Chain A
Amino acid sequence: MVQKHIVEARGIHKHFGPLHVLKGVDLQVDERELVFVIGPSGSGKSTLLRCLNRLEEPSSGSVVVDGIDMLDPRTDINHARQRIGMVFQSFNLYPHMTALGNVTLALRKVAGKSRAEADALARKALERVGLADRADHTPGQLSGGQQQRVAIARSIALEPRVMLFDEPTSALDPELVGSVLEVMRSLRETGMTMIVVSHEMGFARNAADRVVFMDDGLIVEQGPPAAIFENPTHERTRAFIGQIQRH
């Protein structure tokens, strides 16, 4: 049986002026897989993630998500992006809208739902992240953990095929991290394909199918969490794992 990858990135290079941030990265992700991307800061993890939905334009390479060539100029990128949810470190909720408004915006403007349909879908999404009773709150009235869960609801309401998480818990107070990871875990149980850039090693250990270690713009090593965390083969992986485990 030929395994069909839902995310297929090949030979991704990214230059920012003189900086060569990605130096030929290949990443294939299967349906329903949870891939964790770890590595030191500046290793290109976030840039790779942002190349997958073309928030960042790769300098060269190819990205195919759910059969859509993301870099083809003929691709309707706005349509394609509906299928790829993204959650950001800084939540990026719209501060002038309620939680419900944040979730309904794309449902109405992109998915073309009526206001009533969008409201119903948005309430369902908020319920999935445990915030049904916060629909009418503005982001300013919510805690960081709640804001991030609204951001997740904003993405999953569009029923994406893949979810990208860019350090979703890094901006949170420690006591709020758990609630966000809980939502991610329940999302995983529904079979969502997820690519997560994060330093939550405990979560990676017991939730990830695969851990990818990046350094200096390249994937150095990848494998099941146990292998990467217990028996890293590369010197750089060992150094990195050793460093984070000392904390």
Chain B
Amino acid sequence: MGGWDRFVETFFNAKVMAKYLPDILSGMVVTIELALLIVVTGLAAGLALALLRSLGIRPLNWLIIFIVDLFRSLPPLVIIVLMYFGLPYAGPSPSGFVSTWLSLALVLMAFSEEIFWAGITSIHHGQWEASRSTGLSYGQTLFNVILPQAFRLTIPPLTNRTIAITKGTALGTVVAVTEILGQASSAVSNSYNPSPLMMGAAAYIVLFFPVVVAARWIETKFAWKR
């Protein structure tokens, strides 16, 4: 058997791959569920914090900044581990899935709050003044004038950060979430063969490549001529 054959036999073993394909597919479903939950809740919470911060209530803003800085500085893995292994001592014991979801959603919330906030503050103050001078309220100005402009500015950093954090679903494997990487590594230890890991890598590409392409499309679509 030549070197190439041995390589294929080891990393792309058809028998092993066929056997563990259903596991990888079920892992993909879990990863998709996790990712969607993280994106929706994380971005919604981040936007909500940014809007609260725009009200300019000082003690509230200190609290928001503290929370945001905390979750931006902690490694996501540490948050997941603390939530899964630490929280039960305080009462609630979230599952691995819930721990991973909440942890990564909190991280995405923190980063997206900063991005939304930067977007809101980068809109020239004259936009507020023009809108308020015609009688629009604070909220009407925010939703009709400021946010539509801020969103366009935030799309590129937001998509980057969202993709980076959703890939963190792989961290769920340390708290026994049966997502792609978790399925792949248990398949590797059961089959004594790394082929499932290759399938896992392929699964991530299949999932995230379209997301990256879609992000690029959104960025160009929402860029507008000044």
Chain A interface residues (CB < 8 Å from chain B): 53, 55, 78-82, 84-86, 88, 90, 92-96, 105-106, 109-111, 138, 140-141, 151, 154-155, 158
> Can you list, as one digit per residue, whether each of B126-149 has a CB less than 8 Å from chain A (1) or not (0)?
110111111111001000110011
In angstroms, how far is the closest chain B Cβ from the Cβ of A120?
18
Known: A88-B130, A94-B145. A110 touches B226 (CB 8 A): no
* Chain B residues with CB below 8 A from A88, complex form: 126, 129-130
Known: A96-B224, A105-B144. A81 touches B129 (CB 8 A): no
* Chain B residues with CB below 8 A from A95, complex form: 149, 224, 226
Is B124 an interface position by the 8 A CB rule?
yes
Cα distance A151–B126 when bound, in Å? 12
Partner among B124, B127, B136, B226 whose Cβ is within 8 Å of the Cβ of A106: B136
In angstroms, how far is the closest chain B Cβ from the Cβ of A79?
7
Residue pair B129, A109 in contact (C-beta under 8 Å)? no
Residue pair B130, A140 in contact (C-beta under 8 Å)? no
Residue pair A53, B134 in contact (C-beta under 8 Å)? no
In angstroms, how far is the closest chain A Cβ from the Cβ of B158?
17
Partner among B124, B130, B140, B224 whose Cβ is within 8 Å of the Cβ of A109: B140
Residue pair A140, B136 in contact (C-beta under 8 Å)? no
Is B53 an interface position by the 8 A CB rule?
no
User: Can you list 30 pairs linking A and B with CB atoms under 8 Å apart?
Assistant: A78-B132, A78-B135, A78-B136, A78-B137, A79-B135, A81-B132, A81-B133, A82-B134, A82-B135, A84-B133, A85-B133, A88-B129, A90-B124, A92-B126, A92-B127, A92-B129, A95-B224, A96-B149, A96-B152, A105-B131, A106-B136, A109-B136, A109-B144, A110-B134, A110-B136, A110-B140, A140-B224, A140-B226, A141-B225, A154-B134
* Chain A residues with CB below 8 A from B129, complex form: 55, 86, 88, 92
Q: Number of B residues contacting the other chain (C-beta, 8 Å)?
A: 21
Chain B interface residues (CB < 8 Å from chain A): 124, 126-127, 129-137, 140, 144-145, 148-149, 152, 224-226
In angstroms, how far is the closest chain B Cβ from the Cβ of A57?
12
Residue pair B130, A92 in contact (C-beta under 8 Å)? yes
Residue pair A86, B224 in contact (C-beta under 8 Å)? no
Residue pair B133, A86 in contact (C-beta under 8 Å)? yes
Chain A to chain B: the 10 pairs with minimum beta-carbon distance, closest first: A92-B130, A106-B134, A92-B126, A110-B135, A86-B133, A82-B135, A81-B135, A78-B135, A140-B226, A140-B225
In angstroms, how far is the closest chain A Cβ from the Cβ of B11?
50
* Chain A residues with CB below 8 A from B126, complex form: 88, 90, 92
Residue pair A138, B225 in contact (C-beta under 8 Å)? yes
* Chain B residues with CB below 8 A from A80, complex form: 135
* Chain B residues with CB below 8 A from A106, complex form: 131, 134-136
Cα distance A138–B137 when bound, in Å? 24
* Chain B residues with CB below 8 A from A155, complex form: 133-134
In angstroms, how far is the closest chain A Cβ from the Cβ of B70?
33
In angstroms, how far is the closest chain B Cβ from the Cβ of A122?
12
* Chain B residues with CB below 8 A from A90, complex form: 124, 126
Given contacts A88-B130, A92-B127, A109-B144, 20 further A-B contacts (CB under 8 A): A55-B129, A78-B132, A81-B135, A86-B129, A86-B130, A92-B129, A95-B149, A96-B148, A96-B149, A96-B152, A105-B131, A106-B134, A106-B135, A110-B140, A111-B135, A140-B224, A140-B226, A154-B130, A155-B133, A158-B134
